[in-house]
C-alpha cells in the first residue's frame, strides 16, 4: 500500500507587498531583488492574522474538495517554523477550527523542507494501514520573524501555505520514494537566535533584534545549490529514471538560480520546471504545496505522470520525493 496525494489546496493573505513597496522601507530596489532572487512580490498577513488562520482556510478547502467530513480526518500534520504559539500546536488549532473531532496531530519543524518531511511522515501513517485520511499542511507566516531593516532577508520571504489529503492507493502509484537529509552543522547559518530555551525573551533580546531570522546568504546559497541538485539526481538514479521521465519538477521556491541549477543537473527541461517565486517569494514550508496546487489547477499534472519534489532549508534540512500521480477516478 502506498499513499497518494488525493486533494490539494493553498491559501495566501490578501495583502501584496511588492518590491516597489520594499524600496520605501529598506535600502533596496526592484532590479536588485529580481536579479538576485527572481521575486517581484510576496503576500503578507494583516495585523492579527497568523499561521493557523491560513492553515484553517487550507483545511476547509481540502474538506470541500474531497467531500469528506471533518470527522473522517484521522491525522493532521502541520509543517511550520512560525506557529501561532509554542503550545498549543498549530495542528491543534486547525483541528479545533474545522471540528475534526477524531483527529490527532502535531507540528513538524523542518523549515523549507517541512512539507516534504510532512508528506513522508504522513505517507508512512497511511502505509501502516491504520489511517485513511491524513491532512498535511505546509505553512509559514514569515513576516512575523522578518527584520525589515535587513535587506538581505526581508526581501526574500512571504506568507502563505498549502496542503493535501493523503489516502491509500495501489502500489504502483502515489509517493514512490523519498531521500531526506539533515545536517545540524548548518544551523548557525540560518537561524532565529532568540525566543527558545537557549535565549528566552528579554528586554536585551528584543533590543538586539534577536527574534528575527538571520541568514548567511552566501553559505546557504552554496549548500542549497549542491544539496537540492545532488539529492534530486540521486533519487532519479535510484529509481532508474532520467530527467526526461519527469513530467513536472516542483522545487522549493527560494531562489531562481538554485532552481535552475538543480533542474540542469537532473537534465529536466525548462518547460517542465514549475517556478512561481516571482508571485509569492519564499513562503518556507508553503512553497511546494502552493506550487503543487497551482499545477493541478492549471492542468499541468496528468494521470501516470512522474512528479519530482525537492527542497532545502534551515537546519540544514533537504530532500527529494518522487511521486507517480494518480487522478481521482
Q: CA 248 to CA 250: how far, in whole Å?
A: 6
The average pLDDT across 35-55 equals 96
pLDDT in tens, 172-214: 899 999 999 999 999 999 999 999 999 999 999 999 999 999 9
The mean pLDDT of 47-54, rounded to a whole number, is 97
* C-alpha span between 67 and 61 (Å, rounded): 10
- Tell me the domains of the chain and their CATH numbers: 2-171 (3.40.47.10), 176-324 (3.40.47.10)
pLDDT for 65 equals 97
Active-site residue identified among 2, 11, 282, 293: 282
**Catalytic (active site) residue 154:** no
- The answer on pLDDT for 13 being more than 80 is yes
pLDDT at 328 over 70: no
Of the residues 11, 133, 252, 266, which is catalytic? 252
The one catalytic residue among 2, 11, 112, 154: 112
Residue 185 designated active-site: no
> H-type helices in 128-216, by residue range?
151-154, 203-207
pLDDT of residue 171: 74
Residue 11 three-state SS = strand
Residue 329, pLDDT > 60, answer no
Answer whether residue 148 shows pLDDT above 90: yes
Share of the chain above pLDDT 90, in %: 95
How many CB atoms lie under 10 A from the CB of residue 25?
Answer: 13
Beta-bridge partners for 41:
18
77 has pLDDT over 90: yes
Indicate the average pLDDT of the chain: 96
Per cent of the chain over pLDDT 70 is: 99
pLDDT digits (tens, 9 = 90+) for 96-143: 999 999 999 999 999 999 999 999 999 999 999 999 999 999 999 999
Q: What is the pTM of this model?
A: 0.96
Q: What is the mean pLDDT of residues 2-28?
A: 97
C-alpha cell at 148: 525589515
Residue 266 annotated to the active site? no
DSSP state, 172? T
* Distance (Å) of CA 23 to CA 144, 212, 213, 256: 19, 20, 20, 21
- CA dihedral sign of residues 236, 237, 239, 240: positive
Burial 108-123 (b: 16+ CB within 10 A, else e): bbbbbbbbbbbbbbbb
Cα dihedral 118, 188, 186, 80, rounded to 10, equals 10
Location of C-alpha cell 516597489:
20
Q: What is the pLDDT of residue 41?
A: 97
Residue 162, pLDDT above cutoff 70: yes
Residue-wise pLDDT tens digits, 222-248: 999 999 999 999 999 999 999 999 999
Amino acid at each position: 500500500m502506498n499513499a497518494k496525494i488525493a486533494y490539494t489546496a493553498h491559501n495566501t493573505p490578501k495583502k501584496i507587498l511588492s518590491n516597489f513597496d520594499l524600496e520605501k522601507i529598506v535600502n533596496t530596489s526592484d532590479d536588485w531583488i529580481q536579479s538576485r532572487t527572481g521575486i517581484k512580490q510576496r503576500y503578507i498577513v494583516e495585523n492579527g492574522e497568523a499561521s493557523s488562520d491560513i492553515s484553517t482556510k487550507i483545511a476547509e478547502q481540502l474538506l470541500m474538495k474531497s467531500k469528506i467530513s471533518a470527522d473522517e480526518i484521522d491525522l493532521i500534520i502541520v509543517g511550520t517554523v512560525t506557529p501561532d504559539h509554542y503550545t498549543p500546536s498549530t495542528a491543534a488549532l486547525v483541528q479545533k477550527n474545522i471540528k475534526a473531532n477524531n483527529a490527532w496531530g502535531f507540528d513538524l519543524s523542518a523549515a523549507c523542507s517541512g512539507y516534504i518531511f510532512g508528506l513522508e511522515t504522513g505517507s508512512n501513517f497511511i502505509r501502516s494501514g491504520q489511517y485513511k485520511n491524513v491532512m498535511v499542511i505546509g505553512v509559514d507566516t514569515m513576516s512575523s520573524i522578518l527584520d525589515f531593516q535587513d535587506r538581505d532577508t526581508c526581501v526574500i520571504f512571504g506568507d502563505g501555505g498549502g496542503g493535501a489529503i493523503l489516502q491509500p492507493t495501489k502500489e504502483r502509484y502515489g509517493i514512490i520514494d523519498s531521500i531526506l537529509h539533515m545536517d545540524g552543522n548548518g544551523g548557525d547559518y540560518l537561524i532565529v537566535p532568540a525566543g527558545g530555551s537557549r535565549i528566552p525573551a528579554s528586554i536585551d533580546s528584543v533590543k538586539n533584534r534577536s527574534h528575527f531570522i538571520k541568514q548567511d546568504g552566501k553559505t546557504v546559497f552554496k549548500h542549497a545549490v549542491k544539496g537540492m541538485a545532488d539529492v534530486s539526481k540521486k533519487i532519479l538514479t535510484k529509481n532508474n529514471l532520467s530527467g526526461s521521465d519527469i513530467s513536472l519538477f516542483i522545487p522549493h521556491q527560494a531562489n531562481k538560480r538554485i532552481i535552475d541549477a538543480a533542474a540542469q543537473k537532473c537534465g529536466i527541461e525548462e518547460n517542465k520546471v514549475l517556478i512561481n517565486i516571482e508571485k509569492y517569494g519564499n513562503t518556507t514550508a508553503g512553497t511546494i504545496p502552493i506550487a503543487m496546487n497551482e499545477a493541478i489547477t492549471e492542468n499541468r499534472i496528468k494521470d501516470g505522470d512522474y512528479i519530482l519534489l525537492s527542497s532545502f532549508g534551515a537546519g540544514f534540512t533537504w530532500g527529494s520525493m518522487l511521486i507517480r500521480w494518480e487522478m481521482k477516478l
